[in-house]
Amino acid sequence: MRNLEIAKLFNEIADLLEIKDENVFKIRAYRRAAMNLESLTEEIEAVAARGGLTEIAGIGKDLAAKIGQALDRGRIEYLEELRREIPRGVVELMAIPGVGPKTAKLLFEKLQVDSVEKLEALAQEGKLLGLPGIKQKTIENIVKGIQVVKKGRERMPLGRALPLAREIVQALEKLPQVKKISMAGSLRRMRETVRDFDLLITSTKPAKVMEIFTSLPQAAEVLVHGETKATIRHREGIQVDLRVVEPGCFGAALQYFTGSKEHNIRVRELASRKGLKVSEYGVFSEATGKRLAGATEEEVYRAIGLPYIPPELREDAGEIEAALEGRLPNLLELDDLRGDLHAHTNWSDGHHDLEALVEAAHRKRYEYVIVSDHSRSSTVAHGLSEERLIEQIGQIRALNKKYTNLRILAGSECDILADGRMDFPDRVLAQLDIVLCAVHSRFKQGRAEMTARIVKALSNPYVHILAHPTGRLIGERDPYDVDLEAVFAAAKQHGKAVEINAQPSRLDLNDHHARRAKELGVMLSIDTDTHFLDQLENMTLGVATARRAWIGKSDVVNAMPLEKLLAWSDKSRRESHK
DNA sequence: GCCGTTTTCGGCCCGACTGTTTTCAGTCG
């Protein structure tokens, strides 16, 4: 059983305990344990094997035993008991907005409701009326909520969310009533998908701002409209929350609404041990009630005795401990990147010619840019034949004469064939400056076969970077089954880099995996995989993923100056020969 | 159920909004 599967079981236990109205702190313990398992970079089986389960934060004797059960038998007896008591469908009721554990329990006990369908039928027949605390308005909200569940409240990929959110920010920031505005929540933490947009504003006229916000053309529906807080449903389906605070609270509110919830809980615990109280209005002395900080986030963290923690790290994944011990990482910045090591042209499936790509890279003041079109087996992507590749290399060498401060690197995104051989022979690869290798076929191979295939590719002396290592497409295609630990070990052994592919639909490696790669001492390459010129801008998403993975400049090959990069690419070839 | 510079018991983050109440519970973030 994998980390995520056990986390899921713990979350299910927490759901069931909520319906049973159990001790809230016990429930929180399960949720926290689940969270920590999700962000654990090491395989849980390996941790268990060396007896380290209770070293994981939030895992004590009891939960360690339950993890043991899950690993040994594939099930947790306690969960089985709970499941016998409360049907699955009752838990699913809580997915309906407005229905929480209390309502689910009430519906189950009074009316034996154990599915969303049954609830919908009863609501329409008017059978819900008369239950304690439920009147017409609540029934209307339940019916509406059921429609939302049925449509599926999917998470939106960050790459799609950011432009939509920016549109709203731009509409609001030009208002005279708006002083400051910032994105918050998972958008600001740059999670790969978001479930809603959180926006924060300072204004002295909150009512007016609320009015304008709720009547934006993007607002398909107004869900909440209070004095300082409003929620709309965006016409693209996603929820947008807006909070208005006074300028003196901006930092505290931004800290609060950026989250994550788990990070904030830890921050507040820490504060309360120091006799401080933290809310969205500021940091207050418990004793005197005096406000000690609030205008800026830096000030808020400082008041609690912490250095500033970048939003991307705020997941309660070790950043609080690191902050306390003064070992927060120096995170990668967009400006640290000196070039792009994965880009296509219309020689294969790109939509611009070679010169246009190079010009665009030049405008971005890159020190180098690669041309890495597909190899011959990728026929749907018009992969290059050996002859065409040789011809392209010639053009690249010629084009290089035109530029003094930009180096065009000859490369290839070379298919890893089903048996782990490369799609071009070594004598061809040897002529390239940088070679990426990637899986583009036979995604359904078994774990052992796929792992051996990629490991073999990484042992090829002419290969430098493993592109989109898991092949996942967010919301569309699952990653292929591969043992990443073995892949990272091979990359480390042969001195290869693994990619964070910055395509919005890929972000592959993801933040967790990239963090693990870094921990194991594997170099990363952050690339856009550009097919249209404007996709060069996706680098921000790759950098965000890297930052969420605690990655700094020194972990990244394309943060190296050209000479160092070329030395690395040579070295990787030499080392592979050993 | 976890945890410890309040250490083996007694804590465990905090506030807005809604719908139901008539002072608050439930939900959400």
Distance in Å, residue A142 CA to nucleotide B18 C1': 13
Q: Taking the C1' atom of B21, which residue's CA lies nearest?
A: A133
How far, in Å, CA of A434 to CA of A566, rounded? 8
* Residue A20 one-letter amino acid: K
Q: Which two tokens stand for residue A64?
A: 């360690």
What residues form DSSP beta bridges with A501?
A508, A527
Nucleotide nearest to A139 (CA to C1'): B19
Q: Taking the C1' atom of B5, which residue's CA lies nearest?
A: A273
Structure confidence at residue A153 as a pLDDT band (50, 70, 90): low
- What pLDDT is recorded for position A573? 74
Distance in Å, residue A275 CA to nucleotide B8 C1': 23
Nucleotide nearest to A273 (CA to C1'): B6
Distance in Å, residue A256 CA to nucleotide B12 C1': 19
DSSP-derived pairing of the beta strands A282-285 and A276-279 = antiparallel
Q: Is pLDDT of A578 > 60?
A: no
Nucleotide nearest to A94 (CA to C1'): B27
- Identify which of A138, A245, A152, A151 has the alpha carbon closest to the alpha carbon of residue A198: A245
Distance in Å, residue A129 CA to nucleotide B20 C1': 13
Residues 6 or more apart whose Cβ sits within 8 Å of residue A429: A412, A414, A422, A435, A460, A462, A463
pLDDT tens string A480-500: 999 999 999 999 999 999 999
- Main-chain phi, psi angles of A68, to 5 degrees: -55, -45
- What pLDDT is recorded for position A465? 97
Nucleotide nearest to A198 (CA to C1'): B29
Q: Which domains does chain A have, with CATH numbers?
A: 3-151 (1.10.150.110), 179-245 (3.30.460.10), 249-324 (3.30.210.10), 334-577 (3.20.20.140)
Nucleotide nearest to A54 (CA to C1'): B2
Helix (H), strand (E) at residue A49: helix A44-49
Most confident of A82-96, A144-158, A310-324, A407-421: A407-421
Mean residue pLDDT of chain A comes to 91
Structure confidence at residue A572 as a pLDDT band (50, 70, 90): low
Distance in Å, residue A288 CA to nucleotide B23 C1': 28
Distance in Å, residue A287 CA to nucleotide B24 C1': 28
Q: Which nucleotides in chain B have some atom under 7 angstroms from a protein Cβ?
A: 1-3, 6, 11-21, 25-29
Given its phi and psi angles, is residue A370 left (phi above 0), alpha (psi -120 to 50 degrees) or beta? beta
- What pLDDT is recorded for position A575? 64
Q: Is pLDDT of A416 > 70?
A: yes
